[in-house]
Structure 1
Amino acid sequence: MNHNGKSLDLSDRLKAFMAAHIYPNEQRYHLEAERMGPWAVYPVVEELKPLAREAGLWNLFLPPHDGQPGLSNVDYAPLCEIMGRSLFAPEVFNCSAPDTGNMETILRYGTPAQRERWLKPLLEGKIRSAFAMTEPLEASSDATNIASSIVRDGDEYVINGRKWYTTNATSPACEIIIFMGKSDPDGADPYRRQSMILVPRKTPGVRVIRPLPVFGFYAVPDRASEVVFENVRVPASNMLLGEGCGFEIAQGRLGPGRIHHCMRLIGLTERILERMCRRVEMRTPFGRPLAEQTVTLERIAEARIMIDQARLLTMKAAHMMDTVGNKGARREIAMIKVAAPRMAQTVIDWAIQMFGGGGTSNDHLLTAAYATARLLRLADGPDEVHRNQIGRLEIRSHRGTDPAFTGGSADVLSVAEAERRVAAGLWPKPADFDA
Structure 2
Amino acid sequence: MTSRQGNVGAKGASYFTPDQSPPSGTPLDASTAPTLFTPLTTRGVTTHNRFVVSPMCTYSADNGHLSDWHLVHLGQYALGGAGTIMVEATAVEPRGRISPEDSGLWQDSQVAPLKRIVDFIHSQGSVAAIQLAHAGRKASTVAPWLGGTTDKPLADETIGGWPDDVVGPSPIPYADNHAPPKELSVDDIEGLVSKFAESARRAVEAGFDLIEIHGAHGYLHTNFLSPLSNVRTDQYGGSFENRTRFLTETIQAVRAVIPETMPLWLRISATEWMEHSGQPSWDLESSIRLAKLLPGLGVDVLDVSSAGNTPHARVPMHNEYQVDLAGSIRRAVRGDGLDLQIAAVGKITEAEMARSIVQEGKPVAQNGNGTVEVEGDHGVAQAEFVLAARQFLRDPRWVLNVAYELGVRVKWPQQCERAARRPKVEKL
Pick the structure with greater CA Rg. Answer: 1
More helix by share: 1
Length-normalised TM-score, structure 2: 0.22
Length-normalised TM-score, structure 1: 0.21
